[in-house]
DNA sequence: GATGGACTGACTGACTGTCAGTCAATTTAT
DNA sequence: ATAAATTGACTGACAGTCAGTCAGTCCATC
């Protein structure tokens, strides 16, 4: 085949892009390295010139997600025109709306074939978002919006709660169920964990919705 | 090789036992089906007579853990000589002390080679323990020990929080750190989530420890 | 109550196809 | 000239298959 030399940075990104697309379409185990290189139009050897194993490219893909999330959260945490409650809500909004092309990332991740992606994702998210999230909580404590002695644990608890509930919802058939009740429950939990005034998150949510 | 016919139930258990041992020792990916059958002393064909794939036996192993947990939790939930707080504490005690031979299951699962087992485990635990756990919480609400409108969500939140914190702890080097502070934080979170009187879990914990 | 033949389903192990990963050779860029 | 990028045929390992074997059971017959 005609040999095409590209800037390594571009080649690497190219391979990651295709690998990500195929992993999401068919699953990690079901995608062969040979499928990836065929689509990219390079040899098997080139793949292993850039990645030391198939597992390695999975990590590269996850790292990219994590990087995006980290940047997004940092940006929210750094804002100075909104308070801690609004930041936390903006944070959830950001996570929910992160997408990958046309479909929501979160939907992809919950498909059964992607347990591999999903597990790795959830394993790496906390260490990256806990610090800025924790900062938001500490800010809220200083503003007297929250009341907790353990901001880091509260951050972990909220992230863990979110994961658990989102899995739970996806495993249940009647997912459409009653979104409102679930929202109320989640807000209630967050308020309790943070020691915020009961109902205050819902209040803010209504306000924002009204502004749209 | 000499052909030895056994009761299918026994053969199946035998294969699961060895597979579990090898998966925990060397990891799922690093254990070949051929390794398993060599140890059991049967042919490759026998393996596939009992399990439709390598993935399938992993499920069988997880199902066994889940079954044990389910039974343990049900037993605790059914007790009538202790109150809801004591039940919840007994439940955590039970989970923490579940072992597989000499090592604690939770320690095994956090070893890097066992991500596969671990992910599958955490995916399946909630749907099995939420119902009895939820029942304990409702009981606590009736006894006026807890105060929540969303017992199921509270159960999910506590499980999610527990997972998140345990991952967090295992990822940090300085794990030995300050167990007491972490215990206080976890109790604080549980009390908030359940709407229990602040400090009541710690109180019960001290009482139980004193009794020993 | 022994003999044997039909039958079942547990079990065998050599075989196949696939795939992750390697490497010596080759081309391109500086 | 040298280094960096690229090739693709090759290897070894492994999951999964399949045609066939054999232990044990059931039951008809003497």
Quote the pLDDT of residue A138: 96
Contact B164 A163 (CB under 8 A): yes
Question: What pLDDT does A176 receive?
Answer: 58
**Whether A153 and B186 lie within 8 Å, measured CB to CB:** yes
pLDDT reading at B166 higher than 90: no
Q: Which residue is nearest to nucleotide C28 (CA to C1')?
A: A5
pLDDT in the model for residue A102? 43
- Which residue has tokens 């195929």? A22
The residues of A between 52 and 71 with beta carbon within 7 Å of nucleic strand C are 52-55
A47 CB contacts (<8 Å, ≥6 apart)?
Answer: A15, A33, A36, A37, A57
Nucleotide with smallest C1' distance to residue B29 CA: D14
Fold for domain A1-51?
Arc Repressor Mutant, subunit A (1.10.10)
State the smallest CA–CA distance between residue B114 and chain A in angstroms: 12
Per the model's pLDDT, the better-predicted residue between A29 and A177 turns out to be A29
What are the residue ranges spanned by the domains of chain A?
A: 1-51, 61-211
- Phi, psi at B174, each rounded to 5°: -75, 55
Of B149, B163, B171, the CB nearest to A160: B163
- DSSP conformation letters of A49-79: HH-SSHHHHHHHHHHHHHHHHHHHHHHHHH-
pLDDT over 80 at B65, yes or no: yes
Buried residues in A20-57 as b, exposed as e (16+ CB within 10 A): bebbbeebbeebeeeebbebbebeeeebeebbeebeeb
B54 touches strand C (CB under 7 A): no
Q: Considering only CA atoms, which residue is closest to the C1' of nucleotide C10?
A: B5
* Full DSSP string of A127-182: HHHHHHHHHHHHHHHHTTS---S-HHHHHHHHHHHHHHHHHHHHHSS-TTTTHHHH
Higher-pLDDT residue of B124 and A86 is A86
The answer to whether B170 faces chain A, any CB pair under 8 Å, is: no
- Among B134, B36, B20, B6, which residue's Cα sits nearest to residue B68? B20
Distant-in-sequence, close-in-space partners of A203: CB < 8 Å, separation ≥ 6: none
Report pLDDT for A15: 96
Nearest residue to nucleotide D21 when comparing alpha carbons to its C1'?
Answer: B3
Cα–Cα separations (whole angstroms), residue B184 to A149, B178, B203: 10, 10, 11
Lookup: nucleotide whose C1' is closest to A35 CA: C19
Distance A167 CA to D12 C1' (A): 40
Q: Which residue has the higher pLDDT, A178 or A126?
A: A126
Contacts of A192 in chain B (CB under 8 A): 192-193, 195
Structural Rg of chain A based on CA atoms: 20
When pLDDT is averaged across residues B131-156 and rounded to a whole number, the result is 95
Within 7 Å: CB of A1 and strand C? no
User: Per-residue pLDDT for B95 more than 50?
Assistant: yes
Helix (H, G, I), strand (E, B) or coil at A29: coil
The arithmetic mean of pLDDT across residues A105-109, rounded, is 64
- Judged against a pLDDT cut of 60, whether residue A23 lies above it is answered with yes
Strand bridging mode B99-100 / A103-104: unpaired
Q: State how far the Cα of B157 lies from the Cα of B189, in Å rounded to an integer.
A: 10
pLDDT(B22) > 60? yes
Give the CATH architecture of domain B62-211: Orthogonal Bundle (1.10)
Where does A61-211 sit in CATH, by number? 1.10.357
Q: What confidence score (pLDDT) does residue B5 get?
A: 79
Task: Kindly state the average pLDDT of the residues B57-76.
Answer: 92
| Record: contact A160-B160, CB cut-off 8 A | yes
> How confident is the model at residue B201, as a pLDDT?
94
Mean pLDDT over all residues of chain A?
A: 87
CA distances from A164 to A35, A99, A193, B93, B156 (A): 34, 20, 15, 21, 6
Asked whether this chain's domains B1-51 and B62-211 adopt the same fold, the reply is no
Residues of B in contact with A149 (CB under 8 A): 185, 188
Higher pLDDT, B141 or A114: B141
Residue B4 banded pLDDT, cuts 50, 70, 90? confident
Q: For strand C, is any atom closer than 7 Å to the CB of B5?
A: yes
* Whole-angstrom distance, CA of residue B193 vs CA of residue A190: 9
**B127 lies within 8 A of chain A by CB:** yes
What's the Å distance between residue A3 CA and nucleotide C26 C1'? 10
Segment B88-105 shows an average pLDDT of 83
Altogether, the residues listed in chain B come to a count of 212
Q: Which one is predicted more confidently, A7 or A20?
A: A20
Return the closest-CA partner of residue A152 out of A167, A166, A164, A136: A136
Q: Which of A133, A189, A194, A202 to mutate to test the interface with B (most CBs of B within 10 A)?
A: A189
Is strand D in 7 Å reach of the CB of B32?
A: yes
**In this predicted structure, what is the pLDDT of residue A200?**
95
């Amino acid at each position: 085949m005609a040999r095409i030399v590209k800037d390594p940075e571009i080649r690497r990104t190219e391979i990651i892009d295709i690998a990500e697309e195929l992993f999401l379409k068919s699953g990690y185990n079901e995608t062969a390295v040979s499928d990836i290189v065929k689509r990219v139009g390079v040899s098997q050897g080139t793949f292993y010139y850039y990645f030391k194993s198939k597992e390695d490219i999975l990590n590269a893909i996850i790292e990219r997600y994590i990087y995006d999330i980290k940047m997004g959260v940092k940006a929210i945490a750094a804002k100075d025109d909104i308070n801690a409650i609004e930041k936390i809500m903006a944070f959830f909004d950001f996570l929910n709306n992160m997408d990958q092309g046309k479909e929501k990332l979160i939907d992809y991740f919950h498909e059964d074939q992607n347990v591999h992606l999903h597990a790795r994702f959830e394993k790496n998210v906390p260490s990256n978002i806990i610090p800025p999230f924790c900062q938001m909580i500490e800010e809220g404590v200083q503003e007297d919006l929250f009341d907790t002695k353990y901001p880091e644990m509260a951050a972990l608890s909220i992230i863990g709660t979110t994961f658990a509930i989102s899995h739970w919802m996806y495993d249940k058939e009647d997912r459409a169920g009653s979104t409102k009740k679930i929202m109320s429950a989640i807000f209630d939990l967050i308020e309790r964990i943070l020691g915020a005034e009961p109902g205050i998150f819902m209040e803010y949510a209504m306000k924002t919705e009204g502004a749209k």
